[in-house]
Amino acid sequence: MRRFVSLCALFAALGTGTSEAIAQVHGHDGSVITGRTVGANNDVLFFQAGWPGISASLIHGATPKVDLGGIFTFNYGFEGDVNAPVVPGLKLQGLLRANFTDSGKLNLGINFAPGPLFYFFRGYPTVIGMDVPIGLAVGIRASPNVNVGLMFELPMFVVFGTSRYDGQLVLPILFGGGVEYFIERNLALTFTMKMGPMIYTASDFTDFDFQALFGLAVKL
């Protein structure tokens, strides 16, 4: 009996050691789509492509709870408005990500990415505006290499006086989610999808906003 108990204890210890080893190889500490930050002193390049465009972000973990960075975006959809014409646009944004709470299994964070935007409609002057998007993200650590995110975002922007939009605040209200899969500890694939109404506050109409993006995050 004693020998049986000893063998059980040995197998349990081996199993625990194996699980920890797997977590160390395939596990992850940071995130680019949930409320968790990328981690203090870590640098991550994050590329996304889909609708409404493509973007490249550089994210630096300033502290365990705060990320700072920048985003360059080339869009071909006007901020995700499915009823707007396909039109080229450029955005250059700063980035702040902050974590409020993280239990290991669940996390909550905020993101803010202000910056100028430019869209080039044919037959109209260049549309110039300012992005002031803010969002909340809830993260669930589903497994050692998978994060699931739930998102609520207000990617609002101000359009300055132009002949097309006549200067106004545009307020999208988006709900969505995403998945982050770590192929390796320093390499992750992502997919996010968000949708909701897009309110043109001075034009008295509302369109539908849709955003779906595949991503690749590389920890440097």
Burial of residue 51 (CB within 10 Å: 0-12, 13-18, 19+) is middle
Task: Record the tokens describing residue 48, joined without a space.
Answer: 């996304």
If you ran DSSP here, which 8-state letter would residue 207 be given? Answer: E
CATH number of the domain to which 39 belongs: 2.40.128
Number of H helices, E strands in the chain: 1, 14
At 176, which helix (H) or strand (E)? strand 174-184
Residue whose C-alpha is closest to residue 132's, from 187, 77, 101, 171: 171
Res 114: pLDDT: 98
Which positions ≥6 away from 133 have C-beta within 8 Å? 111, 112, 113, 114, 153, 154, 155, 156, 157
Flag whether the pTM goes above 0.95.
no
Q: Is the pLDDT of residue 185 over 70?
A: yes
CA distance 162 to 124: 8
Q: How many other C-beta atoms can be found within 10 angstroms of the C-beta atom of residue 8?
A: 10
CA distance 26 to 146: 10
More confident residue, 178 or 12: 178
- pLDDT digits 0-9 by tens, 116-146: 999 998 888 889 999 999 999 999 999 999 9
Res 24: pLDDT: 39
Maximum CA extent, the chain: 87
Res 202: pLDDT: 86
Pairing relationship of beta strands 106-112 and 134-143 according to DSSP bridges: antiparallel
Task: Give the count of alpha carbons within 13 A of 173, CB side only.
Answer: 5
Band of pLDDT at residue 166, cut at 50, 70 and 90: confident
Task: Record the tokens describing residue 4, joined without a space.
Answer: 């049986």
Q: Is the pLDDT of residue 8 over 60?
A: no
Q: How many other C-beta atoms can be found within 10 angstroms of the C-beta atom of residue 14?
A: 10
Band of pLDDT at residue 165, cut at 50, 70 and 90: confident
- pLDDT digits 0-9 by tens, 11-53: 344 343 433 333 334 456 799 999 999 999 999 999 999 999 9
Res 209: pLDDT: 97
Band of pLDDT at residue 7, cut at 50, 70 and 90: very low
- pLDDT digits 0-9 by tens, 87-97: 999 999 999 99
- pLDDT digits 0-9 by tens, 53-88: 999 999 999 999 999 999 999 999 999 999 999 999
Res 16: pLDDT: 39
Res 77: pLDDT: 94
Its domain, for residue 26, covers 2-219
Task: Provide the 3-class DSSP secondary structure of residue 5.
Answer: helix
Handedness of CA 179, 36, 44, 115 (dihedral sign): positive
Say how many domains are in the chain. 1
